[in-house]
Structure 1
């Protein structure tokens, strides 16, 4: 009777909380499911990861789940207009796509080979060129992001018995052993727990974060991150070009405000990636089409930044190089003339460097932009992400083959070591180039001009650069 009268009986409240807690646990336990691998993020890199795991022989009996927040596209229609978001696919990425059957899908849609590349700057006449003859195959392929993703998804759809794709589903929260508050002391053999936005609870031996530069997986795992805002934006657009019957050259010119690049999409169209200040980016996006075309042509052709002193010295230095290296003939090509821009194709996005100090923690691995996001001046960002896919899928198969589980920290650490050895030199090189070319100070211009000329003359150095970019 007393309990009916006392509204705040401690014993009753405690009993009620216990009952509710047990009921809640029963509800969660009924909806709990277990998986060997969960991939969070179904972009190009995350979907490629799922596809690679589905093709791995030693992972055939493993349960793999891909969480993708976007809805499933039942049909894909290739637009006649080219997208303004593209990737420069390296030979190593082509090999990955071939191994999962996606390359044939891409070839059936569209892509454009890059057979030559010319890089030069506006403050001097120095340049460097790369030719496909030096590799005995194409330097790269320019492929639209939508085409890459569709090709991989088509291959993934054939692996439905091995990989479960959950569209319109994302992770709401994670409990990561040793990282989540309240679970710092949990043994690393404890599985990762994921609660989805659908209310499902998934426990997994390995969580792979492929959820981009603002990765929730990275935050949940409390990974230390180095970030650098470049205070720049990349303006992208689809350009119509003329003056070429074989548009297979990638052009990049370094301006004091940032590099401007034109990548071939077909014999008539190219993709523009122009790095500049946020103010200039807004100005370029607001221009009338004809004025924008004039601005692009001016960026590739103007000579008002030329430093006469540096130009004079670099000419003399080039004569010396020609004398020492008799086969060193610098062949300068002129870029095609831009005659139009596709309506609505102009856009911009901010540029920054994001690099996680670690790529793995107990039962967690980061890939793609979740682990490293770079400045686009070398076009290596997505290739590094696909390199993560190749490496991690291979080491996970080795783990299972050796009798370990897929969340083995030993094999995850091997992945981190191997990938950081490949990624860090690229990150530091691109970061350094950004600052080296972001000035028109004469001594710096002279230094970089002579360096570029020397690199172009030394074939073995160029070959090393090509090998590194193709790896």
Structure 2
């Protein structure tokens, strides 16, 4: 048994031997929308030509570059600024060829109503796009560059950090160890490992975070009849906001933020009762509100049913790292900042990270500086980008 184990280990080492202790200028650990966009942005920057870039992706490529026939519950409200970024990396054309829904106006329903008519906007104020479509488009784009190496189905088990250049016994670079035995070294580690970021904790970056006393219930909604479905509807209930985001003329995406108890109740309801609860939440008081507001020309669509197995729940919370960078490490997306989904800005903040960090690294390379020089983007730049 010992010989067999040893032989298996040697075979595994031989299989991945070409990667043992391989050096990269930049390693992006964590893919998805933001990590993949980061890899493509750096890999196509002319100032970074010749730099070795590695993207470590936990998912399977055969899954990531495909889009399902049915709508996913995970959708994003993409701002014009994020659309410009995705266009710049060549992914927006793929997204438009797959599926997206332009949002020219939005209406908020409560005791007072706010309406932004498309006549007041030169372009759409947002684009509703499925998460899977964005990931698939970016994954396809990565196939067009030799600058970035992508390794799929990876799991990091340990990071070893350089303490600083002033400590003689410290290793000079960040070392990344994978579960399959591979080891990499890099000048700069960019990490998007979620709200419970292992990198953020190990780097000793303080974080302010808390959970809201709310959960979100999401589902794909099938409308009662086809309609010009180009309005995002949101109503503020006593326990939290409920929102309906357009996906097509016949389908919308539900995001219902409410108390944990109510969310559990919504999950347990049969489909008919769940649909009744949604329609009641949107149409209650409409007979009073609409005539007084003069909006009789526009009503929220009614829901007929929900997509199969599309009803899920997740907890809501807030988090913000006190620093986005430390010695040879930079945090992006949820590892750096997590926000309530009310404003739909989580993904846009992540793309803001990509835009700002790419710009700074490009300038560092142009000036011949160390890519991990501690002169990375200010939080205010990223926050400003998300609102563009």
By how many angstroms is 1:469 displaced? 5.8
Counterpart-to-counterpart distance in 2, 1:344 and 1:232: 22
1:128 is matched with: 114
CA contact (8 A) 1:374 1:381 kept: yes
Distance change >3 Å, CA 336–CA 75, structure 1 → 2:
closer
Partner residue, 2:129: 143
C-alpha distance after superposition, 1:89-133 (max 9, x if no partner)? 110111111111101111111011111101122xx2x12122333
**Partner of 1:409: helix, strand, or coil?**
coil
Describe how 1:109-258 pairs up with structure 2 within 5 A. Answer: 109-121=98-110, 124=111, 126-159=112-145, 161-178=146-163, 185=167, 190-242=172-224, 245-258=227-240
Partner residue, 2:360: 395
**Once the two structures are superposed, what CA deviation does each residue of 1:143-172 show, in whole Å capped at 9, x if it has no partner?**
11111100100001111x200111111221
1:330 to partner: Cα distance: 6.1
Matched, 1:61 2:26: no
Check 1:339–1:186 CA distance in 2 against 1; reply closer, same or farther (3 A cut): farther
The answer as to 2:80 corresponding to 1:80 is no
**How many residues are aligned here?**
369
Structure 1 residues 421, 72: CA separation in 2 closer, same or farther (over 3 Å shift)?
closer
Other structure's SS at 2:255 match: strand
- C-alpha deviation, 1:248, in angstroms: 0.4
The gaps in structure 1 that reach 5 residues or longer are: 1-27, 319-328, 426-467
* Match runs of 1:1-400 below 5 Å: 31-73=20-62, 76-121=65-110, 124=111, 126-159=112-145, 161-178=146-163, 185=167, 190-242=172-224, 245-303=227-285, 331=295, 333-400=298-365
| Alpha-carbon separation, structure 1, partners of 2:71 and 2:205 | 37
For the residues of structure 2 that align with 1:358 and 1:420, how far apart are their CA atoms? 12
Is this contact kept in 2: 1:188–1:363, CA < 8 A? no
Cα gap change, 1:283/1:203 in structure 2, threshold over 3 Å: closer, same or farther?
same
- 1:92–1:470 Cα contact (<8 Å) kept: yes
CA distance in 1, matches of 2:262, 2:235: 17
SS in structure 2 opposite 1:233? strand
Q: Structure 1 CA distance, aligned partners of 2:386 and 2:190?
A: 25
Q: CA deviation at 1:384?
A: 0.6
**Bigger mean CA deviation after superposition, 278-287 or 346-355:** 278-287
User: Which consecutive unaligned segments of at least 5 residues does structure 2 have?
Assistant: 1-16
CA positional deviation for 1:84:
0.8
- 167-176 vs 59-68, greater mean Cα deviation: 167-176
User: Aligned partners of 1:362, 1:132: CA distance in 2, in Å?
Assistant: 46
Q: Distance in 1 between matches of 2:48 and 2:285?
A: 58
Helix, strand or coil: the match of 1:97?
helix
Contact kept? 2:154, 2:179, Cα under 8 Å: yes
Task: Tell me the distance in 2 between the aligned counterparts of 1:65 and 1:392.
Answer: 16
Larger displacement relative to structure 2 (208-217 or 68-77)? 68-77
| Contact 2:65/2:139 (8 A) holds in 1 | no
Deviation of 1:296 (Å): 0.1
Match of 2:12 in 1: none
Counterparts of 1:184 and 1:278, CA distance in 2? 50
CA drift at 1:262: 0.1
Give the TM-score normalised by the residue count of structure 2. 0.89
Superposition deviation, residue 245 in structure 1: 2.6
Two-structure CA RMSD over aligned residues (Å): 2.7
Q: 8 Å contact 2:34–2:350 — kept in the other structure?
A: yes
TM superposition outliers: structure 1 runs of 4+ over 6 Å: 186-189
Residue 236 of structure 1 deviates from its aligned partner by: 0.3
Larger radius of gyration: 1
Q: How far off its partner does 1:135 sit? A: 2.7
Distance 1:186 1:238 in 2: 57
Q: CA deviation at 1:44?
A: 1.0
Looking at structure 2, the residues matched to 184 and 276 of structure 1 have their Cα atoms a distance apart, in angstroms, of 51
Contact 1:120 1:252 in 2 (8 A): yes
For 2:256 and 2:277, locate their aligned partners in 1 and report how far apart those are by CA, in whole Å.
Answer: 11
Deviation at 1:186, TM superposition (A): 6.5
Answer yes or no: is the 8 Å Cα contact 1:40–1:170 preserved in 2.
Answer: no
Going by fraction, where is helix more abundant, 1 or 2? 1
